[in-house]
Structure 1
Amino acid sequence: MSENAMAIDYVMEKASGPHFSGLRFDGILSSPPPSSSPGPSTNLAADPHAAKQPFVIGVSGGTASGKTTVCDMIIQQLHDHRVVLVNQVNASDVIILEGILVFHDQHVRNLMNIKIFVDTDADVRLARRIRRDTVERGRDINSVLEMYAKFVKPAFDDFVHPSKKYADVIIPQGGENHVAIDLIVQHIRTKLGQHDLCKIYPNVYIIQSTFQIRGMHTLIRDREISKHDFIFYSDRLIRLVVEHGLGHLPFTEKQIITPTGSVYTGVDFCKKLCGVSIVRSGESMENALRACCKGIKIGKILIHRVGDNGKQLIYEKLPKDISERHVLLLDPVLATGNSANQAIELLIQKGVPEAHIIFLNLISAPEGIHCVSQRFPSLKIVTSEIDVALNEEFRVIPGMGEFGDRYFGTDD
């Protein structure tokens, strides 16, 4: 017998022995507690409902060593639905965890970005279980009904159904509800298409890219574009960013009567709102904000760098009740993030909660995203594109130059 075969036999013998470590319900690997006194052992054959410890196999090795191939060959040869593969070789962007008790443990729930409860009628579920257990598992109908009445239904009523309250999405009729499933699939596709920084920072939002948006970015980034066209297409993009930002404000449900005399249940937007532009580029975004929010108050913050020592002077003119408002902070370009951080810090000093600030810009550099998001994780950043990087002069690349100069015509 080869050394490898002897080693495998030794491991199999140890894993089958009394020291084999199983999985607790909470998913933490642990050894069964030692028995303090001799007593009768649990006979799994005599008691089919007794809890069974899973046989856990870890597969490791260097990169490209063939770990996945070994796992696939084992699973293919076993061909048993009781054998599952949890794969760390290829990192996944979306993990679907399915089971009747996956909402039971709070620690597990906290790991989930979205929780879905499949709500199917009890009679339909019973009919499906009878068909599955009699056809696929060879049980007689009386034993299926007895097990359902004694164990399955009480367990569902006591443990599974109460967990429905934790769900973000409830799907009636299960797999027959194609509309709900299509919406969830579309949501997942959107997440898969997200920029990597959006996966790192959940407070960063990029408006969904379309050919129209890419076309407008192509125009305003072109150094040969006329000033008139630059302003026109910049205003269109700014309007889209502002409207997306407004969608992150809180709202309340409101019912109104339509001209037909019918009741319409809609929403009422947040009333306590103001804009704050970082002078001077941010002032280019004010018209779009006024067009979306009639009569909105707009404050200003000027951050002026003094010399080369990194010191900054800050001038501000803000609404007196700004601490009671949600704030849309306006600046078309997020580069290093230093000026943005200064402005945000000032707003917080004025009493504005960090979570009440939404920072709107047209383009962002990754360095700026890191700088602002790490310091203010509760603040939201809404942008239309994230560019590649900053160059040695701290300009956004590929960028679009000095936005304020191009917009206000002072680039000459």
Structure 2
Amino acid sequence: MSTVKSPKPRRFSRIAPDNDDSASFFTSSEHLPNESAIESSASSIHLDVETPKSSYIPPWTEPYIIGVAGNSGSGKTSISQKIIQELNQPWTILLSFDNFYNPLNEEERKQAFNNNFDFDTPESLDLDLLVETVKSLKSGEKTQIPVYSFQHHNRTSKSTTIYGANVIIIEGIYALYDQRLLDLMDLKIYVDTDLDICLSRRLTRDILYRGRDLAGAIKQWETFVKPNAVKYVNPTMNNADLVIPRGLDNSIAINLMIKHIQKQLALKSSQHLKYLKELGVNIDFDIAKFNIKILPTNNQTRGINSILFDVSTERSDFIFYFNRISVLIIETALEFITNYKPVRINHNYDGLRLMDEIMAVNIIRSGDCFMSSIKKTFPEISIGKLLIQSDSRTGEPQLHFDSLSSEMARGKKILLFDSQIISGAASIMAIQVLIDHKVAESDIILCSYLSTEIGLRRIVNVFPKVNVVVGKMSSIEIGEGKWYNEENFKDSDWHFRNRFIDSLYFGTD
């Protein structure tokens, strides 16, 4: 830590440390894979060279897709769960073929209850729906996964909503059967287990968890399961990239598989980071050309900033004055909303009535600092949440949680809050999530107290129609770059490259 002493020891986190503890990828990190290929030095940035608009490709539109196939009872589910456990990746989705059986009519259900219906033939599965589901997830859309009941032998009215899958595991006896699925997969795994072992496992599962009796389970095995395994399932082994004999008992093969997947995900992560870092580099960045508003420098804002930047400020005062400047930011954001209807009040006053509905979305925890001010401004406003955090090993931003209303797709104006924009990655990802939820780009108003120039460059490069309000903005330290503040703050200055606002606001520093 710095040797500068503060009268308030608990506030030492306000002082720039000797090492860079920035949570962003604004500067290079020794933890990033293939660091030489991910150059992030500010000196390599070339300013004001006009290029076409870039597009952001979030991780969930390039998910890593794994197929796990094998006979019934071979251990496919155990292998899939092992992959999920070892990868420890947010938004790893397990798509089981058990959810994609075709609905049965009354006659077929009677056969199923008598163990006379063949559930182990490809025709019993809705492969078309499964293919469309995977394609929908791969395109970044919110997708409904059906729920099937084996006790009632029918698809239920319930469904599971999935959005933002980084890793998709497709698990089922016919995972490697349909060429359309094979074309979507990055890794194809076949679990090869002796059929006698499969039978013992299937009997346990069917009797304990699917409500079947022993005689019926054995009848179904001999009549349908085993013949279909030999005819349809076993040949799909030829489509596999990796065959795992003995299932979960083969720890050597499983460990090699996990290491391979981790290596591929690390490469995918590094490519995502590299792309993010390159955003905003070669663009013509003129604030006048974008919908960007910076709070004016006047006695009021200068006074508030002086208090917020002062390491000796008490936390209660920090909260009070941050709330004050939050109100100014929100009021400036409302200048982007112009849809008002003239109204006559008491027959003698010509007023205006706001016609647009407004909703708020917070990037947890940074955006939560604005909540007191937004609720005072709009007491009944609907508030959504997004949890976006950087991976501790790579620095890659990842979407962990979203709670958003379907109402926002109906022409609402969305106030998106992030107290600090450093790399711009979290804001870019949050905007992409809103767009995936059918929010128009021009209906989004991003509100932030502090922002770096490189962060804003990246945002407007990808989303030029997004409206942005910033309390204070720094500048890239390069040549004769443009200055956006009278204090000559640079992107590399501590207050702009380290997240401190939410820690101080919520008392977690």
TM-score normalized by structure 1?
0.48
TM-score normalized by structure 2?
0.39
